Amino acid sequence: MHAPPDHLGTAGRQLWESTAAAVSQSEAMLAILERYCSCADALADAQQVLAAEGRYYRAGELVRRHPAADTEAEQHRLMQGYARQLGLSQTIRRTQEEKRRQQAQSSAKMFAINAGGNLNI
């Protein structure tokens, strides 16, 4: 098994180490795996920003989605494509479930309904 590329961060290295054995060791597949793991780093960075700053923010009277949420969604989309190419269908389901869970938690915090049934924003 090949060692993870030096440029990968913590999330990318962990994903490489847990995934590389299940992937063909051809140069083409390792290149796809490298891109897949790079996406994991970008995804982890976006999720860290969202955890610190929230998925939504106020701009005057408007409630806007944080730009890191778009980055998160794009990295999920890219990872799903790479996972299909690598034959990692369980990873696709796991990332989709994690994304839905995080969005639901964030939305619940942002748009909580109080005891009287009124929406708190």
Please report whether residue 1 resides in a domain.
no
Please report whether residue 52 resides in a domain.
yes
Please report whether residue 95 resides in a domain.
yes
Residues of the domain holding 18 = 10-108
Please report whether residue 117 resides in a domain.
no
pTM of the model as a whole = 0.70
Distance from C-alpha of 49 to C-alpha of 44, rounded to nearest angstrom: 9
Please report whether residue 4 resides in a domain.
no
Please report whether residue 120 resides in a domain.
no
Please report whether residue 65 resides in a domain.
yes
Q: How many domains does the chain have?
A: 1
Please report whether residue 41 resides in a domain.
yes
Q: How many CB atoms lie within 10 A of CB 112?
A: 11
Instruction: For 3-40, write each residue's pLDDT tens digit.
Output: 999 999 999 999 999 999 888 889 999 999 999 999 99
Three-state secondary-structure class, residue 65: strand
Q: Grade residue 114 by pLDDT with cuts at 50, 70 and 90.
A: low
Distance from C-alpha of 96 to C-alpha of 105, rounded to nearest angstrom: 14
